[in-house]
């Protein structure tokens, strides 16, 4: 029998990385929030790789933190090993990645949401939701009902989840959890278009059964750099990772058993991730490659369970065991958990506004893998924005929409809602046109003022941020004014660094712009330098050395934002605009872009279509 259980401002369905950030943001902005999860013991779970960050993903974590989110702080508190990726490349693509203690991370996040004011964490499966009197009515499997003003769907891979291992398949969520089997039907009744995506994981194996003696050791970087701008004591490297490789024997085992893979016998229908394929897909797709890299990574400090990154598979258990035993170091490995594939339901994100609210359903938001993305970081970023916007809507305040030049978060959301995705979306630095401006080191400069305006940045944090900015400006002024005389010491230093000596006095700022020089090399001739934080030095050096490139990107950003300000009427009839191609009419009518800028990024809308649209808009604005 149905019974009424309570009233909240906002309900968040799912307590994965998207749901956690959404619920925390909404509650911290003063909204009474309920966070629903199928299992309280798996809040903030990492069912795939127990790591946070990576190429472009590290940028997202820094941006989440700069806006006032939680992921960066929780990652710092539970780091096992930290590395800065792409150090051999330019600063635009430097990305922090940390191996994380997955159970401690979950415990940290669980305690955080349990102790946050305005936030109730409830174990329940939501089976139905329906609009009611300007709000929403939610029903659980145990027939409890809740009334809320807004709902955020952050269902991860639980929605319609189905597990595949060889020819065995069954309804289920990640890590042996229950699937959410009824909610998709409710979404259908709301005319929300859904599709099936697929992801997967590798086997987890027992550490003591691995022979590490011949494996490449992958230590962490020193000093460790934290994700959060608020972390005062950086984490330490506690454990090492190791590297091994598949070989022709591995390849042969897979090819001999390919017909037993649900990926190739037609059992799995969902679209899998393009940039994180299974080992059987890699063997087929890259048939000419003799070997594939495997990273052996710890799952926690208090467990001997090891994660085999690069060996995601849904092959039968006996085949998984056989292929693992062909790999150096794993000849006698004991499998603790076999790998599996999981299919799940998600929405077509082009149904969403840039606020992540559904266009045709007021007060209903989507976030994370429900929106077609992959990855913990992409999920957390969307959850944060959905939580902020749901709270702002309830409070009657303007929404928060980040554009592509504000951050990777803006790029991520714009890609999803404007272009959609045919397979699980993964953030990469190449997706941004402005990646030299959107570096991970300056995420606080770009986004902390926005987090402050929204209400997620505390007074204490704001004071620290403004102090850092003041120190940076003071240092730039000092570099501008300080002239170093052409001494023998200076010229010896310059020649040793491989750059041209000087015959007259030279400003410090001009020396620091030289690619061969940096703060460390210039320290002997700069004895009066004030104490500077690592972050300040990094920002100053990068901005000076790449000044010309940054100036060009800023000019492109100004042009992009000019087009973003050309707003399009909500009721525009694209079929009536003479000169628009038929494909453009169809795509524009389906996406309903908010601006000319957004329209220009829709697949199938050409530059000539945009010219027609601008001309039509100009004539309309002129009253013709």
Instruction: Split the chain (624 residues) into runs of 10 and give each run's mean pLDDT.
Output: 92 98 98 97 94 97 98 98 94 96 98 98 97 95 97 97 95 93 95 95 97 96 96 96 97 95 87 87 92 97 97 96 98 97 96 97 98 96 98 98 96 96 94 94 97 97 96 96 95 96 95 95 93 92 95 94 91 92 93 93 91 90 73
Instruction: Please name the residue that has the structure tokens 């050395």.
Output: 545
- Six token digits for residue 289: 């490659």
Spell out the domain ranges in the chain: 204-343, 474-551, 565-621
Find out whether the peptide bond into 275 is cis, omega within 30 degrees of 0.
no
What is the spatial distance between Cα 441 and Cα 399, in angstroms, rounded to a whole number? 26
- From 324, 313, 315, 306, select the one nearest 276 (Cα to Cα): 313
Span 362-372, pLDDT tens digits: 999 999 999 99
State residue 624's pLDDT score: 59
Q: With left for phi above 0 and alpha for psi between -120 and 50, is residue 337 left, alpha or beta?
A: beta
Find out whether the peptide bond into 351 is cis, omega within 30 degrees of 0.
no
What is the spatial distance between Cα 585 and Cα 608, in angstroms, rounded to a whole number? 13
**Cα 476 to chain centroid, rounded:** 32
Q: Where are the alpha helices (DSSP H) in 190-272?
A: 248-256
What is the spatial distance between Cα 224 and Cα 233, in angstroms, rounded to a whole number? 10
Distances (CA, A) of 418 to 404, 432, 588: 12, 14, 10
Report the CATH architecture of 204-343: Beta Barrel (2.40)
- Six token digits for residue 211: 């022979």
What is the spatial distance between Cα 588 and Cα 569, in angstroms, rounded to a whole number? 12
What is the spatial distance between Cα 600 and Cα 587, in angstroms, rounded to a whole number? 11
**Which distant-in-sequence residues (6+ apart) come within 8 Å of 75 by Cβ?**
52, 53, 61, 98, 100, 105, 227, 228
- The answer to whether the pTM exceeds 0.85 is yes
Q: Are strands 241-245 and 293-298 parallel, antiparallel or unpaired?
A: antiparallel
Span 47-93, pLDDT tens digits: 999 999 999 999 999 999 999 999 999 999 999 999 999 998 999 99
- Six token digits for residue 160: 């319609």
- From 149, 268, 266, select the one nearest 198 (Cα to Cα): 268
Instruction: Please name the residue that has the structure tokens 């990645």.
Output: 97
3 state SS of 581: coil
Q: What are phi and psi of 382, to 5 degrees?
A: -65, -40
CATH of segment(s) 565-621: 1.10.150.570
**Cα 290 to chain centroid, rounded:** 32
Q: Where are the alpha helices (DSSP H) in 86-241?
A: 102-114, 183-189
State residue 620's pLDDT score: 82
CATH of segment(s) 474-551: 1.10.10.1800
What is the spatial distance between Cα 438 and Cα 408, in angstroms, rounded to a whole number? 7
Q: Are 394 and 9 in contact (CB under 8 A)?
A: yes
Q: Where are the alpha helices (DSSP H) in 121-223?
A: 183-189
Q: Are strands 51-53 and 506-507 parallel, antiparallel or unpaired?
A: unpaired
DSSP string, 9-51: EEEEE--SHHHHHHHHHHHHTT--EEEEES-GGGTT--SS-SE
Q: Are strands 340-347 and 194-201 parallel, antiparallel or unpaired?
A: antiparallel
């Amino acid at each position: 029998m149905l019974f009424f259980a309570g009233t909240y401002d906002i309900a968040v369905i799912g307590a994965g990385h998207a749901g956690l950030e959404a619920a925390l943001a909404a509650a911290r902005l003063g909204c009474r929030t309920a966070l629903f999860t199928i299992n309280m013991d798996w809040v903030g779970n990492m069912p795939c790789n127990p790591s946070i960050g990576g190429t472009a993903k590290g940028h997202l974590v820094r941006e989440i933190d700069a806006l006032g989110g939680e992921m960066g702080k929780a990652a710092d508190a539970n780091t096992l090993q930290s590395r800065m990726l792409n150090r051999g490349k330019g600063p635009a693509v430097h990305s922090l990645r940390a191996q994380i203690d997955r159970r401690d991370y979950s415990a940290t996040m669980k305690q955080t949401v349990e102790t946050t004011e305005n936030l109730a964490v409830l174990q329940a499966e939501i089976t139905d939701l329906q609009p009611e009197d300007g709000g929403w009515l939610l029903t659980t499997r145990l027939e409890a009902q809740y009334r809320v003003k807004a709902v955020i769907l952050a269902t991860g891979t639980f929605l319609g989840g189905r597990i595949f291992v060889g020819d065995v398949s069954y309804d289920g969520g990640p890590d042996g959890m229950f699937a959410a089997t009824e909610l998709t039907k409710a979404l259908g009744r709301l005319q929300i278009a859904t599709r099936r995506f697929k992801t997967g994981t590798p086997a987890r194996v027992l550490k003591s059964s691995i022979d590490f003696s011949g494996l490449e050791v992958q230590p962490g970087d020193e000093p460790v750099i934290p994700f959060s701008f608020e972390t005062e004591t950086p984490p330490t490297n506690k454990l090492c990772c190791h590297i091994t490789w598949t070989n022709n024997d591995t390849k042969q085992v897979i090819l001999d058993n390919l017909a037993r893979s649900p990926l190739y016998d037609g059992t799995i229908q969902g679209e899998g991730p393009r940039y994180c394929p299974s080992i059987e897909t890699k063997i087929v797709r890259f048939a000419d490659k003799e070997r594939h890299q495997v990273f052996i990574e710890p799952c926690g400090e208090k467990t001997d369970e090891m994660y085999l990154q690069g060996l995601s598979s849904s092959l039968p258990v006996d085949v998984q065991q056989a292929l693992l035993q062909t790999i150096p170091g794993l000849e006698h490995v004991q499998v603790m958990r076999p790998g599996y594939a999981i299919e799940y339901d998600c929405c077509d994100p082009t149904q969403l506004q840039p606020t992540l609210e559904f266009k045709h359903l007021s007060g209903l938001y989507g976030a994370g893998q429900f929106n077609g993305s992959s990855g913990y970081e992409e999920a957390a970023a969307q959850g944060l924005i959905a939580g902020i916007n749901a709270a702002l809507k309830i409070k009657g305040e303007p929404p928060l929409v980040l554009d592509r030049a504000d951050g990777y978060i803006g790029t991520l959301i714009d890609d999803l809602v404007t272009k959609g995705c045919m397979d699980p979306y993964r953030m990469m630095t190449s997706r941004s046109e402005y990646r030299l401006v959107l570096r991970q080191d300056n995420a606080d400069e770009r986004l902390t003022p926005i987090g402050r305006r929204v209400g997620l940045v505390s007074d204490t944090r704001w004071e620290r941020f403004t102090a850092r900015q003041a120190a940076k400006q003071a240092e730039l002024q000092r570099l501008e004014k300080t002239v170093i005389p052409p001494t023998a010491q200076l010229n010896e230093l310059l020649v040793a660094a491989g750059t041209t000596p000087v015959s007259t006095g030279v400003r410090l700022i001009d020396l620091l712009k030289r690619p061969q020089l940096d703060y460390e090399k210039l320290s002997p001739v700069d004895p009066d330098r004030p104490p500077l934080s690592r972050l300040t030095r990094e920002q100053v050096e990068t901005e000076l050395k790449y000044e010309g490139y940054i100036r060009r990107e800023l000019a492109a950003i100004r042009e992009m934002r000019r087009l973003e300000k050309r707003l399009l009427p909500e009721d525009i009839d694209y079929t009536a605009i003479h000169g628009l191609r038929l494909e453009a009419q169809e795509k524009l009518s389906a996406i309903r872009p908010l601006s000319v800028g957004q329209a220009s990024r829709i697949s199938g809308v050409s530059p000539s279509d945009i010219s027609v649209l601008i001309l039509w808009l100009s004539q309309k604005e002129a009253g013709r």
